[in-house]
Amino acid sequence: MRVKVKMFAAARDATGASEVVVELPELARVRDLRIALESEYPQLAPLLSRAMFAINTHYADEDTPVPLAGEIACIPPVSGG
């Protein structure tokens, strides 16, 4: 399956896009998404190791299934305030 992943801040700068598309096996989980992104965008690796993912605007953990349809986002360490 192909999923879209929103990119923010340094992750957007590193990929050059506010949204990227990655190919994932069916039933993929967040950990698989992380690996697929790293292999597609090696320049993301340092940030990815510290980033979280959100699915439909909720923080996901590594075991959360990646939905076929839904909003997926890569969340680098936040720095608001």
* DSSP H or E stretch at residue 58: strand 58-60
Please pick, from the candidates 16, 65, 70, 77, the single residue that binds other proteins as defined by CB under 8 A: 77
Write out the two tokens for 12. 């957007």
DSSP state of 27: T
Residues 42-71 that bind other proteins (CB under 8 A): 47, 50, 52, 54, 57-64
Using CB under 8 A, count the residues that bind other proteins.
25
The Cα–Cα gap between 81 and 73 comes to 21
Q: Is 72 in the site for other proteins (CB under 8 A)?
A: no
Q: How far is CA 35 from its chain centroid?
A: 10
Residue 50 structure tokens: 């510290």
Cβ distance to other proteins smaller for residue 24 or 74: 74
Interface positions with other proteins (CB under 8 A):
6, 8-10, 13, 47, 50, 52, 54, 57-64, 73, 75-81
